[in-house]
Structure 1
Amino acid sequence: MSTQIPTAPHSKTMAPLAEELREKIISEPDMILDDIDVMKALIAANEKSSGSNIVDLRGIAMDRLENRLDRLEDTHRGVIAAAYENLAGTNQIHRAILRMMDPLDFETFLRDLGGEVSDILRVDSVKLLLETKVEDDDPVVRKLGDVLVTAEPGFVDTYLTLGRNIPARAITLRQVAPDTDIIYGDETGFIHSEACLKLDFGPGRLPGLLILGAEDPHMFKPAQGTDLLSFFAGVFEKTMRRWLA
């Protein structure tokens, strides 16, 4: 009596399927090479078949290359995010400048500075400090006291350097120093970081200071770039010279 060897139910279909898959891989190898999970599975199977006493230098190199690729991708994403942030910041500064150039009189200019310009820049306070001999009880100062602040000559450098014997920088980004009542008035205690833009109004004129204040203590930090703020300060100086002429 002859005996028939039993076969698995799918043995007849496996061979054609394997051949079809083999031909597919040979004709389109990128299908495998581009699939990270498949490549990892193949490498793991190869390492398993090699035994524990074999050092796979190629596998180690691939791991290092994969880690380097991950770092490069993270860097690439960081560069793109920084570029978008810089573009958004540029548009923000341009919008603020255009709004700042609209008013036809100084009073409206200052009110817009503390209103729409402040909103565009997304800051919580805007103060314009002018060194002058005008007394605080001057009616103009009282009328525009929400934005305009006056101080005696020499105050700007003292405020920027906090009284230290160092040169005052054109742009200063920092957390708010104590005793800033003269700047923020009723807002003192709510403003935790500031950008101080030193203003040059031309020969023979005392300097000024444009101060952007924020409740967020991390909005303005010394390590941040100042190119856009320098541009804004330059335009602001030229605008102010028109009013001071």
Structure 2
Amino acid sequence: MTQNRRDPAAEEKPVEPGEPPARQAVDGDQVAGYLRRHPEFLAERPELLDVLDAPARPALAGAGRSVVDLQQAMVERLRRENDELRRSHEELLLTLRSNQSVQSRIQQAALALLRARSFEHLIETVATDLAAMLDLDAVTICVEPSADVPAQVRTRGVLRVPQGTVAALLGPGKTIRLEAELPGDPTLFGPAAGLVQSQALVRLAVSSATPPTLLALGSRQEGHFQPSQGTELLSFLAQVLESQLRAWLDLPE
């Protein structure tokens, strides 16, 4: 009598100790059953709505209220995302337009400095024209004391500040400081300090022969200057002013 032989290849491989059991395939009915037993599942994981396809409207005929609510939730989510994208797009356009406007103003200010016909005209341009061109309320050059700077500076737009002021305000190695909300300091802005609510301070490296100097820009609009703003354009304007001051005063770099 012949005995039936068992095929070793057909036998299931025993699970080794510590080895995780093989995962079984999950079908749609099992998923549907799990969701019925856990109706709160999608509410607790709303991010899954991003990867689900909403049922077509004809398919909802006779469906339960929960199915209609699911589609409505997905539609509302898409609407919110669309609104967020629209707002982001509008903010980006506003930022680009603002940057273009600022760049144009800085270029006009730099050209005005380059057109100065004398040192006095250069200082007058800083004190009067720059404020209008940059839509600001106060622009001054602040100079620490030295043998070349008299105790009482009578040039409009140039203020004598106490020794150590520039280092105290900017710190070592820093060239620009932007303040979003800060009342104007009379030491920096003189009589116009009462107008200033936001300021930019820019170190002026005029010459190795000149005392510490800075350019003070003030606006009555809070938040006009922001610490997060780029400073490349202000640095460019400061470099143009430094170059012109050196040229008119016949100073070395």
TM-score (ref. length: structure 1): 0.68
Query: Separation in 1 of the partners of 2:96 and 2:192?
Result: 34
Instruction: In structure 1, list runs of 5 or more residues that go unmatched.
Output: 1-41
Query: Separation in 2 of the partners of 1:225 and 1:177?
Result: 22
Q: Deviations over 1:113-137 (max 9, x none)?
A: 1112210111111110123422223
Offset, 1:46? 6.3
Change (3 A) 1:234 1:200: same
Map 1:83-94; keep pairs closer than 5 Å.
83-94=96-107
| Letter aligned with residue 235 of structure 1 | V
Map 1:14-163; keep pairs closer than 5 Å.
43=57, 47=60, 49-54=62-67, 60-133=73-146, 134-137=149-152, 141-142=153-154, 144=155, 146-158=156-168, 160-161=169-170
Instruction: In structure 2, list runs of 5 or more residues that go unmatched.
Output: 1-55
- The residue number in structure 2 matching 1:169 is 174
Change (3 A) 1:81 1:181: closer
Query: Separation in 2 of the partners of 1:113 and 1:89?
Result: 17
Query: Separation in 2 of the partners of 1:129 and 1:154?
Result: 12
Q: Deviations over 1:10-30 (max 9, x none)?
A: xxxxxxxxxxxxxxxxxxxxx
Greater helix content: 1
Query: Separation in 1 of the partners of 2:69 and 2:222?
Result: 52
Is 1:200 equivalent to 2:205 in the alignment? yes
Conservation of the 8 A alpha-carbon contact between 1:157 and 1:168: no
Conservation of the 8 A alpha-carbon contact between 2:186 and 2:193: yes
Offset, 1:172? 0.7
Q: Deviations over 1:153-203 (max 9, x none)?
A: 433112x15xxxx5362111114467x333222223332221101111233
| Letter aligned with residue 128 of structure 1 | I
Q: Pairwise CA RMSD of aligned residues?
A: 2.6
Conservation of the 8 A alpha-carbon contact between 2:183 and 2:196: no
- The residue number in structure 1 matching 2:231 is 226
SS at match of 1:211: strand
- The residue number in structure 1 matching 2:35 is none
Change (3 A) 1:48 1:124: farther
Query: Separation in 2 of the partners of 1:123 and 1:53?
Result: 59
- The residue number in structure 2 matching 1:27 is none
Conservation of the 8 A alpha-carbon contact between 2:189 and 2:216: no
Conservation of the 8 A alpha-carbon contact between 1:47 and 1:56: no
Kindly name which structure, 1 or 2, has the bigger radius of gyration based on alpha carbons.
2
TM-score (ref. length: structure 2): 0.66
Change (3 A) 1:49 1:115: farther
1:185 corresponds, among 187, 190, 195, to: 190
Conservation of the 8 A alpha-carbon contact between 2:161 and 2:188: no
- The residue number in structure 1 matching 2:19 is none
Change (3 A) 1:89 1:188: closer
Offset, 1:223? 2.9
